[in-house]
Amino acid sequence: MGDPRLSIIIPVYNAEKYLEACIDSILSQDFRDFEVILVNDGSTDESEKICEDYAKRDLRIKTFHKKNGGVSSARNLGLDHASGKWLYFVDADDSLTPGCLNTMEVLPSDAQVVQFGYNRVEGNIIYPIAPLRNEEFVSSDDFITKGTFKGMSLWIHFIKASLVTENRIRFTIGLKYAEDLEFVIKCYAFSSKIVSLTDIGYNYYIRELSTMSKAFTFENAKVHLEVANNLLEFFCINKLSLGPFFQSRIEYMIKSYFSFSLNISPQNFNKHTFRSTFEEFLGKHRYSKVLNMVFKRGIMMLMRVSPLFYRRLMGFRKK
């Protein structure tokens, strides 16, 4: 028996409430040529037992256990053991739609990144989000200028394994979040054939909304600049195009820094720290033309979204 066509990597941490439904949604697919790599990242609940039970039932399932090190380290371990020609990353508290993997049967042979739609599930309400039409692109710049759907979530992408291994793309250890976004952007940057499909393949569940509000802290806002910094260095080291795709993704990360900071309560907001953090970021790179252009667009957005916040930051820009 040869290598599977698809490796499905699932990082698992204290996911006992949802893990079985997630795995069952994969095993019930009509497409069968896959392996499932479960990486138990030091769970303290019944997740380890669930992983082992499924591995005993189906030879396509591989289970690995490690000390807790975060989702990036778990996914990297999954990459180390993946043998499929394609890669797919699934979160343990989500699920696949019926027929999601059938797409693997009809992919163009030269495709390297494949994007599809998903359901955003909030309680009993489902919001389908997908490209407007099936499209093919010859580069990331082509995709960002012509595509109808700019979604970058990790779990709406099939990624050619050779693209990842040949370009040594890995998840950055230590990022609190957006590590998946960074990974996808790096894959797009190297891709010479991107396929966008209208299929709805994934159920993304919004759970515990109250905890999401806790994400709006200044420390978390700074993560977006850290990701932007990583991408700037990655594009430079690999001599990749600094065209529309690069500019749009850096702009997105900088705007995210602004938008997260907009949600910080006034008593916890420190204008001087906010300003010095961004000035340090601007001063760290030689792409001044690109960064200044992005900065201006970000400030215009800030003026529209929150004039009061903008006034608080008057005089913000580095002289």
Model pLDDT for residues 94-121, shown as the tens digit of each residue:
999 999 999 999 899 999 999 999 999 9
| Residue 23 included in any domain | yes
Tell me, yes or no, whether 174 and 30 share the same domain.
yes
- Top pLDDT among 159 and 280 is at 159
pLDDT number for residue 221: 78
Tell me, yes or no, whether 226 and 109 share the same domain.
no
Tell me, yes or no, whether 181 and 282 share the same domain.
no
Residue that is last in its domain, among 207, 231, 259 = 207
Which CATH number belongs to the domain containing residue 28 in this structure? 3.90.550.10
pLDDT at 317 over 50: no
Tell me, yes or no, whether 197 and 63 share the same domain.
yes
Tell me, yes or no, whether 124 and 224 share the same domain.
no
Total domains present in the chain: 2
| Residue 305 included in any domain | yes
Tell me, yes or no, whether 191 and 72 share the same domain.
yes
**Hunting for tokens 């090190």 — which residue is that?**
69
pLDDT band at 71 (very low <50, low <70, confident <90, very high): very high
| Residue 109 included in any domain | yes
Tell me, yes or no, whether 226 and 155 share the same domain.
no
Residue that is last in its domain, among 178, 207, 236 = 207
pLDDT band at 268 (very low <50, low <70, confident <90, very high): low
Question: How far apart are the C-alpha atoms of 208 and 216, rounded to whole Å?
Answer: 15
| Residue 1 included in any domain | no
Tell me, yes or no, whether 181 and 38 share the same domain.
yes
Tell me, yes or no, whether 18 and 118 share the same domain.
yes
Asked if 301 and 258 touch (Cβ cutoff 8 Å), the reply is yes
- Angle (CA) 145 151 157, round 5°: 110
| Residue 76 included in any domain | yes
Residue range 193-225, pLDDT digits in tens: 999 999 999 999 998 754 444 566 777 778 888
- The whole-chain average pLDDT of the chain stands at 87
Tell me, yes or no, whether 142 and 202 share the same domain.
yes
pLDDT at 288 over 70: no
Tell me, yes or no, whether 52 and 85 share the same domain.
yes
pLDDT number for residue 294: 57
pLDDT number for residue 286: 56
Question: How far apart are the C-alpha atoms of 15 and 46, rounded to whole Å?
Answer: 8
pLDDT band at 298 (very low <50, low <70, confident <90, very high): low
Residue that is last in its domain, among 186, 207, 228 = 207
| Residue 65 included in any domain | yes
| Residue 172 included in any domain | yes
Range of the domain at 248: 212-312
Residue range 127-158, pLDDT digits in tens: 999 999 999 999 999 999 999 999 999 999 99
pLDDT number for residue 211: 43
pLDDT number for residue 256: 80
Q: H/E/C letters for each residue in the chain?
A: CCCCCEEEEEEECCCCCCHHHHHHHHHCCCCCCEEEEEEEECCCCCHHHHHHHHHHHCCCEEEEEECCCCHHHHHHHHHHHCCCCEEEECCCCCEECCCHHHHHHCCCCCCCEEEEEEEEEECCEEEEECCCCCEEECCHHHHHHHCCCCCCCHHHEEEEHHHHHHCCCCCCCCCCCCHHHHHHHHHHHHCCCEEEEEEEEEEEECCCHHHHHHHCCHHHHHHHHHHHHHHHHHHHHCCCCCCHHHHHHHHHHHHHHHHHHHCCCHHHCCHHHHHHHHHHHHHCCCCHHHHHHHHHHHHHHHHHHCHHHHHHCCCCCCC
Average pLDDT over residues 291-306: 54
Tell me, yes or no, whether 203 and 240 share the same domain.
no
| Residue 94 included in any domain | yes
